[in-house]
Amino acid sequence: MTPPATDGFAPAKVNLSLHVTGQRADGYHLLDSLVMFADVGDRVTVAPAPVMSLRVTGPRAAGVPEDARNLCWKAAEPFGLPVAITLDKHLPAAAGIGGGSSDAAAVLRAMEALTGRPSPMPVARLGADVPVCLLGRAARMRGIGADIQPLEIAPLHAVLVNPGVAVSTPEVFRALARKDNPAMTDLPWNADLTAWLAAQRNDLEPPARALQPVIGTVLEALGACAGVRLVRMSGSGATCFGLFESRAVADSAAQDLRRGNPDWWVRACTLS
């Protein structure tokens, strides 16, 4: 009997803080990051088929490869079961919110369900963010991405903004002046998470802003929103986020930002 198709959500990943604490001999950077996942994302469908195929649809499909270059294909192929993958793309690419990694994680979940086996290939080899995307919920991520500690954090309300410029992650890491920054302080168990976050950083923000000054414009626009509690860049950019006290306040900020900047990708969301 042919196993049924599986249909999965691939949420946007948001780095609420991202400290670069060192660099390994092979060039990879050691990170310390608080990661959460949004209720906005891509959708991935995987169904057994005579040959491997990948079709990319949706508002953000332009320029996304439909062959073995795509992380979805790379995630599925080692299982040895040919599948037809449909990727409904809603997240901007090269945007610091883990779109490709989250898509790959959704394919891995589907392939595990279809074959009853875990990935034959170490998932971290697909990308540094794939292990945390496979977990898909709030976590502290350390090392080069595979050291993951799941966390119980109350949902946060946010607005994500991407100004439409693609940012190359390796270029941002290369432009980072200091690689041995202090780690995050320990998370508070009872105190205000936003106050703790304000004392943390994204070390990739200065080099990303130097490469793409529009990131500064996005941070300013988010910082000017009524009711905003924290503003920061996610990953290596260019997507930035603002945190708000409720979803209603986030929705209203998103509306204003969209009105003022019709070319930007703006989404209110809840992070968990």
Does residue 116 belong to the site contacting ligand C5P (CB under 6 A)? Answer: no
Of residues 173, 241, 244, 265, which one binds ligand C5P by CB under 6 A? Answer: 173
Query: Is 163 flagged in the annotation as binding?
Result: no
Q: How far apart are CA 195 and CA 213, in angstroms?
A: 27
Q: Which stretch binds ligand C5P (CB under 6 A): 25-33, 150-158, 159-167, 225-233?
A: 25-33
Does residue 31 belong to the site contacting ligand C5P (CB under 6 A)? Answer: yes
Minimum CB separation of residue 68 from ligand C5P in Å reads 16
Q: How far apart are CA 188 and CA 195, in angstroms?
A: 10
Query: Is 33 flagged in the annotation as binding?
Result: no
Q: What is the dihedral of CA 251, 254, 258, 261, to 10 degrees?
A: 170
Q: How far apart are CA 71 and CA 50, in angstroms?
A: 20
Minimum CB separation of residue 244 from ligand C5P in Å reads 28
Strand duo 240-244 + 156-162: pairing: antiparallel
DSSP string, 179-206: S-PPPPPPPPSSS-HHHHHHTS-BTTHH
At residue 266, φ and ψ (nearest 5 deg) are -130, 125
Minimum CB separation of residue 143 from ligand C5P in Å reads 8
Of residues 50, 116, 170, 262, which one binds ligand C5P by CB under 6 A? Answer: 170
Does residue 178 belong to the site contacting ligand C5P (CB under 6 A)? Answer: no
Q: Which stretch binds ligand C5P (CB under 6 A): 43-51, 127-135, 152-160, 177-185?
A: 127-135
At residue 162, φ and ψ (nearest 5 deg) are -125, 125
Does residue 121 belong to the site contacting ligand C5P (CB under 6 A)? Answer: no
Q: Is cis: bond before 238, omega within 30 of 0?
A: yes
Q: Which stretch binds ligand C5P (CB under 6 A): 81-89, 111-119, 126-134, 226-234?
A: 126-134
| Residue (28 or 264) nearer to ligand C5P, CB | 28
CB distance 79 to 119 below 8 Å:
yes
Q: Is 32 exposed, middle or buried (0-12, 13-18, 19+ CB in 10 A)?
A: buried
Catalytic residue list contains 129: yes
Q: Three-state SS for 166?
A: coil
Of residues 8, 99, 127, 237, which one binds ligand C5P by CB under 6 A? Answer: 127
Query: Judged by CB under 6 A, how many residues of this single chain contact ligand C5P?
Result: 11
Interacting residues toward ligand C5P by CB under 6 A: 28-29, 31, 127-129, 144-145, 169-170, 173
Active site residues: 13, 129
